[in-house]
């Protein structure tokens, strides 16, 4: 996220919770002016704003920023353009208790769940019907229906939301059940520090007491053997006791590189459901519901414009909406379509939305856990030939590159090699569902990274 996007996200959350007069008074003309080593410098227009942000809003700003960037250590506020003048933060004239509390950010310490993610505010459409149904079933009878439940799909499409919704629903229905949500990176960090501090036994015991274990983004376990081993044992211990395990990933288990075979087969042993890309109607429905949650509304023309231009990422739909809401608050009027085009220009036409040969090649290499130079090499190994053919295929379909260009770009191959690759993938796609899925996921990466 750029500084601007990060700050937009903060403003969007804050303005939900304070009056528009207050919002305009204290947050107008604020921005993040720099970020360094976990410290964020926020620039504000005058000393009043500085004092208020430091004393009244610092805690919540910190919480929001921290939820977006776990490495954040502190925030400092500075006046105006004079960015060299750094002020010490927290010269508390108001006590801690005066800091505003926004309940939606109270992440439950015990479970790690954010109460904002529920089934009630999760929109269901053809793109996520199956994972939604499976998630509901699991929330009703944890440990008894699909175990594990494995949900996968591209960035910003609701994996974390649906995983946490299960957790929140379980706590609501079964207050005695111990639920624990964790990213796979947190799990890895836990394993590493337990080994270092010789606390592995305690670490294991802690996990084995859990009734519902939710691990987000398990693709990050790729290549981490020791963590995988621990996870395998934890998994078995829970599974044998009919405890529920819920996992997410950006790809199906079989496409996670460097995953121990026994863990892969565990992941595949329950229900696997994927979230695909929402269709236009669903994207509009999401925008409408998010506006309603924010107690605001926009003309259909505007919803249509956003939904037609942002197609692959629900988080970006929300980001776009946030900008419009901020505009609304600051200007006290609804933006017209020209305003909207300007406000969203850099989301919609951002370089991230535009594929380049480099991005395609990078995305393919990363997806298959290869180096870019592997794709360029002359190797005839299947693990390399297929990804290379996919890269060639994508250069052709996404960029309309010429065959001679494609051949050259992938390590100086002949144009006939590029034609062959393109035709081979087209043919394989007719009968190979897995390939189709993988290419879809790669495309999502190209367009959302
Ligand atoms: P992922 O984990 O797949 O990257 P998230 O779960 O973080 O995606 O979703 C990104 C944002 O979009 C979140 O703010 C989430 O609440 C919202 N979102 C995703 N799917 C839906 C949905 N079906 N209905 C409503 N909001 C959604
Ligand atoms: Mg997520």
Could you tell me which of 130, 151, 6 has the C-alpha nearest to residue 66? 6
* Peptide linkage before 148 cis (omega within 30 of 0): yes
Average pLDDT over residues 93-116: 67
At 159-173, the pLDDT tens digits run 999 999 999 999 999
Distance 274 CA to ligand 2 centre (A): 14
Supply the residue whose CA is at minimum distance from atom 13 of ligand 1.
Answer: 315
Give residues (CB < 6 A) around ligand 1: 121-123, 128, 153, 155-161, 286, 314-315, 318
Q: Residue 94: what pLDDT?
A: 38
What number of residues does the chain have? 449
CA-proximal residue: ligand 1, atom 19 (nearest): 158
CA gap 232, 230 in Å, rounded: 5
pLDDT at 5 over 70: yes
Ligand 2 center to 159 CA (angstroms): 5
- From the CA of 154, the nearest ligand is 1
Q: What is the pLDDT of residue 84?
A: 38
Order the strands of the 179-183 sheet from edge to edge.
179-183, 212-216, 244-249, 149-153, 271-275
Of 38-42, 68-72, 74-78, 312-316, the one with minimum mean pLDDT is 68-72
164 C-alpha vs ligand 2 centroid, how far in Å? 10
Mean pLDDT computed over 245-254: 94
Ligand index nearest the alpha carbon of residue 276: 1
Please, which pLDDT band fits residue 100 given cuts at 50, 70 and 90? low
Mean pLDDT (the chain) is: 88
Task: Quote the ligand 1 centre to 87 CA distance (angstroms).
Answer: 37
Up-side HSE of residue 323: CA atoms within 13 Å toward CB?
Answer: 20
Nearest to 323 by CA among 11, 94, 109: 11
The mean pLDDT of 308-333, rounded to a whole number, is: 89
pLDDT of residue 352: 66
Distance 9 CA to ligand 1 centre (A): 14
Residue 237 scores a pLDDT above 90 = yes
Residue 20, pLDDT score: 67
Sign of the dihedral defined by the CA atoms of residues 290, 292, 296, 298, in that order = positive
pLDDT band at 330 (very low <50, low <70, confident <90, very high): confident
Q: How far, in Å, is the centroid of ligand 2 from the Cα of 223?
A: 20
- How confident is the model over 394-402, as a mean pLDDT? 92
Q: What average pLDDT does the segment 363-369 reach?
A: 91
pLDDT at 82: 44
Handedness of CA 41, 45, 46, 52 (dihedral sign): negative
What is the per-residue pLDDT across 351-362, written as a single tens digit (0 to 9) for each?
Answer: 666 789 999 999
Mutate to test the pocket of ligand 1, among 16, 130, 157 (most ligand atoms within 8 A of CB): 157
Q: Considering only CA atoms, which residue is closest to atom 4 of ligand 1?
A: 156
Cα-to-centroid distance, 71 and ligand 2 (Å): 17
**pLDDT of amino acid 21:** 66
> Which ligand lies nearest the alpha carbon of 292?
1
Average pLDDT over residues 384-399: 95
What pLDDT is attached to residue 97? 44
Q: Higher confidence at residue 51 or residue 393?
A: 393
Q: How many CB atoms lie within 10 A of CB 209?
A: 10
Q: What is the pLDDT of residue 186?
A: 92
Provide mean pLDDT across the span 239-244: 95
Nearest ligand to residue 287 Cα: 1
> Candidates 161, 184, 283: which one to mutate for ligand 1, based on the most atoms within 8 Å of Cβ?
161
């Amino acid at each position: 996220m750029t500084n601007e996007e990060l700050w937009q996200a903060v403003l969007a959350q804050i303005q939900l919770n304070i009056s528009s007069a207050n919002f305009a008074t204290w947050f107008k003309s604020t921005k993040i002016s720099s970020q360094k080593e976990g410290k964020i410098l926020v620039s504000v227009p005058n000393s009043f704003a500085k004092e208020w942000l430091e004393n009244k809003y610092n805690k919540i700003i910190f919480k929001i920023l921290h939820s977006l960037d776990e490495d954040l250590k502190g925030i400092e506020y500075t006046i105006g353009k004079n960015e060299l003048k750094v002020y010490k933060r927290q010269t508390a004239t108001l006590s801690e208790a005066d800091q505003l509390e926004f309940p939606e950010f109270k992440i439950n310490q015990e479970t790690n769940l954010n109460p904002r993610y529920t089934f009630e505010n999760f929109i269901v459409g053809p793109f996520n019907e199956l994972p939604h149904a499976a998630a509901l079933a699991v929330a009703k009878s944890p440990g008894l229906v699909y175990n594990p439940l494995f949900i996968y799909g591209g960035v910003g499409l609701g994996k974390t939301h649906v995983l946490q919704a299960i957790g929140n629903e379980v706590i609501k229905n079964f207050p005695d059940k111990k639920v624990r949500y964790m990213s796979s990176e947190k799990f890895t960090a836990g394993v590493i520090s337990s080994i270092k501090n010789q606390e592995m036994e305690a670490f294991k015991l802690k996990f084995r007491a859990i009734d519902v274990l939710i691990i987000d983004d398990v693709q990050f376990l790729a290549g981490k053997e020791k963590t995988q081993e621990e996870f395998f044992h934890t998994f078995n211990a829970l599974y044998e006791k009919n405890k529920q395990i819920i996992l997410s990933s950006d790809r199906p288990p079989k496409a996670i590189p460097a995953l121990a075979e026994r863990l892969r087969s565990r992941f595949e042993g329950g229900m696997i459901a994927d979230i695909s890309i929402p269709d236009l109607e669903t994207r509009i429905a999401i925008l409408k519901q998010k506006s309603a949650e924010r107690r605001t509304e926009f003309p259909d023309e505007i919803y249509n414009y956003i939904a037609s231009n942002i197609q692959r990422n629900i988080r970006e739909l929300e980001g776009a909406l946030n900008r419009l809401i901020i505009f609304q608050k600051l200007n006290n009027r609804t933006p017209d379509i020209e305003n909207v085009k300007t406000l969203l220009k850099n989301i919609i036409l951002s370089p991230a939305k535009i594929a380049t040969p480099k991005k395609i090649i990078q995305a393919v290499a990363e997806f298959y856990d290869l180096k870019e130079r592997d794709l360029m090499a002359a190797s005839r190994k299947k693990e390399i030939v297929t990804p290379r053919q996919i890269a060639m295929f994508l250069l052709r379909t996404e960029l309309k590159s010429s065959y001679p260009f494609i051949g050259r770009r992938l390590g100086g191959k002949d144009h006939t090699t590029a034609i062959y690759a393109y035709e081979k993938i087209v043919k394989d796609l007719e009968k190979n569902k897995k390939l189709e899925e993988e290419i879809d996921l790669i495309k999502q990466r190209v367009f959302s990274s």
